[in-house]
C-alpha cells in the first residue's frame, strides 16, 4: 500500500485514510446511520447484513452515543458522543488480521515501533441477542480497536461468519497524535489554523451531559419507550423488518437515556433488555425471511467491472 496522501495526524485525515484503505480491500463505503445508536454494530450495514448467507463488505464511520459516559466535558478520556470506524467482512477472510494490520500501517503505525497486541475480548450484546469471540487490539497498552468474529446475531447462527473491526477513532487519534486530552485532538489543519476536537464538541459534551443526567424527561422517555416497542411489534407483524428495526434502535437509545437518569431499577433493567432483545430477534428472523423471499440477491453472480 502506498503511503496515504492524507495527513494522518488529523482526525479527518485518519478517517479519509481508513476509507481509502478499506475501499481498496473491496469494501463498500457506506455513510453513517442517521439515528442515535450506541455503536457501529447497530447500523443495518452490520447488524442486518450479518444475517443470512449473502456475502458483504462494508466500512463506515458511525457517530455513537452512550449517555452514561458523559462527563460534562471535564474528563480527558471520556465522552458521551464519539466516533467509531466500522469494517465488516463477510465471510471473514483468512487474512483478516493482516488486513487489519495493513490499515494500521496505512495510518503510519509501524509494529516494530508500536507494540501491537491482540488480547482476548469476547463480545456479547444482550439487547441484540448477539455474541462473538475476538480481541481488543492494543497499541502500547491502549485499546484502539475491537475485533469480533460474529457467532450469533439476533439469535440466529452466523453462517458464514462476519468479521467485525471497530476502531475507536478518538483513542487511535490520541495515540497517533501523542495527546493526553481528547479535546486537544487536532481535527483539521487549514489556512485558518488548527481546529481541535474541543472546538467541535466541547460545548456539546457539557450540554448533552446536562440533558442526559439532569434534564431528560423521564415520563416522556418511558412513554416513548413503550410506544417504540409497540410500533416495532406492529411493523414486524406487517412484514416490515427495516422500519421495525428502526423502532428497536429508538427504543434502545431511549432505554440508555433512562439508564443515565437512573430511572431504571436492576430488575426492571433486565426486563427492558429482554424486551429489546425479543424485538431484535423478531426483526432478525423477519429480515432473513424477506431476503430469502428475494432469493438472497447478493449470492447471485455479480457483474464484474472490466
Residues ≥6 apart with Cβ < 8 Å to 69: 78, 79, 80
Q: Does 210 bind other proteins (CB under 8 A)?
A: no
- Residue of the chain from 33, 39, 50, 175 that contacts other proteins (CB under 8 A): 175
Of the ranges 57-65, 74-82, 198-206, 287-295, which one interacts with other proteins (CB under 8 A)?
A: 74-82
Within 13 Å, how many C-alpha atoms sit on residue 188's CB side? 8
- Report whether 172 contacts 144 (CB < 8 A): yes
Of the ranges 32-40, 174-182, 187-195, 202-210, which one interacts with other proteins (CB under 8 A)?
A: 174-182
> What minimum distance in Å lies between the beta carbon of 165 and other proteins?
13
Torsions phi, psi for 193 (to 5 deg):
115, -165
14 vs 248 by CB, closer to other proteins:
14
Query: What is the C-alpha to C-alpha distance for residues 34 and 63, in angstroms, rounded to an integer?
Result: 9
Q: Does 176 bind other proteins (CB under 8 A)?
A: no
Residues ≥6 apart with Cβ < 8 Å to 238: none
- Report whether 183 contacts 73 (CB < 8 A): yes
Q: Does 118 bind other proteins (CB under 8 A)?
A: yes
> What minimum distance in Å lies between the beta carbon of 124 and other proteins?
10
Within 13 Å, how many C-alpha atoms sit on residue 72's CB side? 4
Query: What is the C-alpha to C-alpha distance for residues 264 and 256, in angstroms, rounded to an integer?
Result: 10
- Residue of the chain from 20, 133, 195, 206 that contacts other proteins (CB under 8 A): 133
- Residue of the chain from 8, 116, 130, 153 that contacts other proteins (CB under 8 A): 116
Binding site for other proteins (CB under 8 A): 75-78, 91-94, 97, 110-120, 122, 132-133, 135, 139-142, 149, 151, 158-161, 163, 175, 178, 180, 262, 265-267
Amino acid at each position: 500500500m502506498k503511503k496515504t496522501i492524507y495527513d494522518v495526524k488529523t482526525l479527518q485525515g485518519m478517517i479519509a485514510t481508513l476509507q481509502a484503505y478499506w475501499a481498496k480491500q473491496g469494501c463498500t463505503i457506506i455513510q453513517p446511520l442517521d439515528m442515535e445508536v450506541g455503536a457501529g454494530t447497530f447500523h443495518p450495514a452490520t447488524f442486518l447484513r450479518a444475517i443470512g448467507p449473502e456475502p458483504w463488505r462494508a466500512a463506515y464511520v458511525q457517530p455513537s452515543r452512550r449517555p452514561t459516559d458523559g462527563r460534562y466535558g471535564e474528563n480527558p478520556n471520556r465522552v458521551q458522543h464519539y466516533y467509531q470506524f466500522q469494517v465488516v467482512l463477510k465471510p471473514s477472510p483468512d487474512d483478516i488480521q493482516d488486513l487489519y494490520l495493513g490499515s494500521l500501517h496505512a495510518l503510519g503505525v509501524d509494529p516494530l515501533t508500536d507494540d501491537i497486541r491482540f488480547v482476548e475480548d469476547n463480545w456479547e450484546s444482550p439487547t441484540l441477542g448477539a455474541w462473538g469471540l475476538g480481541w481488543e487490539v492494543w497499541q502500547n497498552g491502549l485499546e484502539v480497536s475491537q475485533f469480533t468474529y460474529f457467532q450469533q446475531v439476533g439469535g440466529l447462527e452466523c453462517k458464514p461468519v462476519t468479521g467485525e473491526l471497530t476502531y475507536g477513532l478518538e483513542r487511535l487519534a490520541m495515540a497517533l497524535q501523542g495527546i493526553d486530552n481528547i479535546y486537544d485532538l487536532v481535527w483539521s489543519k487549514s489556512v485558518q489554523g488548527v481546529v481541535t476536537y474541543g472546538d467541535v464538541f466541547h460545548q456539546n459534551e457539557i450540554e448533552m451531559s446536562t440533558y442526559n443526567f439532569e434534564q431528560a424527561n423521564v415520563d416522556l422517555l418511558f412513554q416513548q419507550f413503550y410506544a417504540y416497542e409497540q410500533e416495532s411489534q406492529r411493523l414486524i407483524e406487517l412484514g416490515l423488518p427495516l422500519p421495525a428495526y428502526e423502532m428497536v434502535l429508538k427504543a434502545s437509545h431511549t432505554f440508555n437515556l433512562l439508564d443515565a437518569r437512573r430511572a431504571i431499577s436492576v430488575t426492571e433493567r433486565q426486563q427492558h433488555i429482554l424486551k429489546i432483545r425479543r424485538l431484535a430477534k423478531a426483526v432478525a428472523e423477519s429480515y432473513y425471511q424477506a431476503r430469502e423471499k428475494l432469493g438472497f440477491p447478493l449470492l447471485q453472480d455479480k457483474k464484474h467491472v472490466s
